[in-house]
Amino acid sequence: MGKSLTNASYETGEGFLDAMKGALATTSQLQRESGLLNHEVTLENPTVSLEETMLASVKSNIAFQVTLQSRNRIVQAYTDVMNMQV
């Protein structure tokens, strides 16, 4: 019988915490890149296009929104569990 996804994730050490750390690192990197491109466009660097900068900004915004919504759902799930009657 094949391994379930949870068992495979557990055995390789890839857990929820690792996934969240990776998501936060990716979001941080996208925000950093967006900020750098925005700064270069502001300085009128001819090698950086406005389209590239706007695309980086949209990617950064989407990643931030996903991270924020994930946090909200985690907090809500924690609150629900803590309010359960045992």
The model's pLDDT over 17-34, given as tens digits with 9 standing for 90+, comes to 888 899 899 999 999 999
By the 8 A CB rule, do 59 and 34 touch? yes
* Region for 44 from its dihedrals, namely left if φ exceeds 0, alpha if ψ lies in -120 to 50, beta otherwise: left
Asked if residue 1 has pLDDT above 80, the reply is no
Measured distance CA(10)–CA(13) in Å, rounded = 5
pLDDT band at 85 (very low <50, low <70, confident <90, very high): confident
pLDDT of amino acid 13: 60
